[in-house]
Amino acid sequence: MNTNPLLDGLTLAREPGSFAIYIFGATGDLTRKKLIPALFSLFTKGFISHFRIIGFARRPWTREFFQNEARSMLEQGHAKSVSQAVKEAFLEKLDYISSTFDDPKGYAQIEQTAQGMEGRIFYLSTPPNEYPAIIENLGKAGHHRAPLGGYSRIVVEKPIGRDLASAKELNNQLAAWFDESQIYRIDHYLGKETVQNLLVLRFCNTIFEPLWNNHYIDHIQITIAESIGVGTRGNYYESSGALRDMIQNHAFQLLTLLTMEHPGELSADAIRGEKVKVLKSLKPITFREVDRYTVRAQYTQGVIEGEEVPGYLQENGVSPDSTTETYVALELSIDNWRWSGVPIYIRTGKRLSRKSTEIAVYFKDPPHQLFRSGGQLPAPNSLIIHIQPEEGISWNVNSKVPGYYTAVRPVNMDFAYGSAFGDSTPEAYERLLLDCMVGDSTLYTRRDEVETSWSFITRILYGWAQNKSPVAAYSAGSAGPEEAKALLAHRNKKWRKL
């Protein structure tokens, strides 16, 4: 049982009953880097105690082999400092089913490994092309039906499709066997503390909510920048690209939480319903407008942290004549009462100068500006929400510089999670897995949200194909292509410095 005194009355509400979690594709990187460490952390913190973890994959592993592999997964980060006795107690909870994903015999072994457990969680950590076979076989074996007094849930990793048609097809496959309340479409960005804090920031602080509209906000910038390249994921990235890989899910999650209306209550459907309304209010970018409101580009050879790195076309698994974008920038408009006239700029890219995910909200200038410094107007106020690598918030205001003259300079009021609360924030997968165990789907995406976002994105993909839109170039280690500056320049604005 969780004995953390800070949880108070929330302790019991977050204490899941007994469950068995089946990780399909348990031999992959996600299990090694995220799922096993997250489950172990929940175990050491006392959130879970009565459970089993069953790997399900093709490799001819045994229970003992899987446990040994998991033992090596616990030799890093927080887990490294935990006693061996605690690790062994956790590892005893692990089991393994060696089976192809289309062999009914493998699914017949599920029930015997779940004996005595109230819940069943089926986690799809495989390539998306394996999803249909897993869903179909789970259904045919009856695992979509909850055990008496328990539950059955399925967790699906992104990508949920690669366009509107394929997203609908996957959702139909899921709906053929599972009720929507059983389906948990995971986006790990929603597990980040700062992302969860967006609603608290807006609706729990009187200072912000009255200003959160087109009367006071000039424009918004959302940046998801990565310094890494595609690495060993060249084959996957060739069929994806930055628009599918980052905008349709991660960036739109940030956008909807930032701009949604008050949900009325903190229920999953109320919050997710308001997010869908934002997506439905996005002004569509037609195929005739894609070259005006979007920029796509690829990184070329460059230098990052003093090291020469190859261009995208030289990466393993990438076609030498590929037009897949590794960078995309968009100008969006939300056609509703609150946000009409406020441009929203989103950019994401690989091999940029640094890793940074942040939201920058820029406020309008005062109606009459009294103060100038060297003939220059003071910088506009801005609220910067830092999501990674460091989580926190910066509120930028103007202040008089001490001295005999009236000089104005911007200053920051900073809040950082690490220093404010004196403890490291939980990993995103910890929070999301725990939510699934207790049946809270607030931080998971609903079917209509997925399909509405794909409807918007598919128009852009169609426009790029129809217009044979150019793919710009940018050097690895830079802030992106020069062409992206034009999205803001026509409104006399600039991207925030990376």
The residue annotated as part of the active site, out of 250, 262, 386, 490, is: 250
Specify the DSSP class assigned to residue 445: B
End-to-end CA separation in angstroms for the chain: 44
Same domain flag for 152 and 286: no
Tally of structural domains, the chain: 2
Q: How many residues can be counted in the chain? A: 498
Range of the domain at 88: 5-157
Same domain membership, residue 197 and residue 58: no
Contact 352, 227 (CB under 8 A): yes
pLDDT per residue over 175-221, tens digit each? 999 999 999 999 988 888 889 889 999 999 999 989 999 999 999 99
User: Are 244 and 464 in contact, with CB atoms under 8 Å apart?
Assistant: no
Q: How far apart are CA 318 and CA 25, in angstroms?
A: 24
Shared domain for 244 and 123, answered yes or no, is: no
Same structural domain, 216 and 293:
yes
Q: Are 122 and 137 in contact (CB under 8 A)?
A: no
Angle between helices 268-281 and 447-467 (to 10 degrees): 20
486 HSE (CA, 13 A, CB side): 10
Bridge partners (DSSP) of residue 55 are 23, 96
Q: What is the CATH number of the domain that holds 45?
A: 3.40.50.720
Measured distance CA(172)–CA(269) in Å, rounded: 20
Residue 438 resides in a domain: no
Give the pLDDT score at 351: 97
Give the model confidence (pLDDT) of 45-74 as tens digits.
999 999 999 999 999 999 999 999 999 999
pLDDT number for residue 78? 76
* CATH code of the domain containing 397: 3.30.360.10
Q: What is the reported pLDDT for 423?
A: 64
Q: Looking at the structure, do residues 271 and 209 belong to the same domain, yes or no?
A: yes
Is residue 144 flagged as an active site residue? no
CA angle at 295 for the pair 294 and 298, rounded to the nearest 5°: 150
Same domain for 26 and 136, yes or no, is yes
Domain annotation covers residue 498: no
Distance of alpha carbon 123 from alpha carbon 24, whole angstroms: 6
Cβ neighbour number for residue 45 with a 10 Å cutoff: 15
| One domain for residues 144 and 203 | no
Tell me whether residue 173 is in a domain.
no
169 lies in a domain?
no
Predicted model pTM: 0.92
393 neighbors 359 (Cβ within 8 angstroms): no
For residue 230, being part of any structural domain is answered with: yes
**pLDDT of amino acid 377:** 78
Whether residue 292 is contained in a domain is answered as yes
List Cβ neighbours of 169 (8 Å cut-off, separation of 6 or more). 161
Same domain for 243 and 140: no
Residue 168 lies in a domain: no
Residues 200 and 303 in one domain: yes
- The answer to whether residue 364 sits within a structural domain is yes
One domain for residues 124 and 235? no
Which pair of structure tokens corresponds to residue 411? 């200053």
The pairs formed by 363-367 with CB atoms below 8 angstroms and a separation of 24 or more are 363/211, 363/216, 363/217, 363/218, 364/216, 364/217, 364/218, 365/218
> Could you tell me if 277 and 339 lie in one domain?
yes
Which of 157, 174, 206 is the C-terminal boundary of a domain? Answer: 157
195 shares a domain with 152: no
Residue type, 313: L
Q: What is the dihedral of CA 301, 490, 361, 264, to 10 degrees?
A: -110
Series of mean pLDDT values for 10-residue runs along the chain (498 residues): 37 72 96 95 94 97 96 84 93 97 96 92 96 98 92 95 97 98 94 89 91 97 96 89 96 97 93 97 95 97 93 95 97 97 98 96 86 74 92 88 80 80 77 95 95 97 94 97 95 94
Distances in Å between the Cα of 36 and the Cα atoms of 22, 54, 72, 263, 466 are: 12, 11, 10, 34, 44
Alpha helices in 28-130, H assignment, sequence order: 29-30, 36-44, 63-73, 84-91, 104-108, 110-113
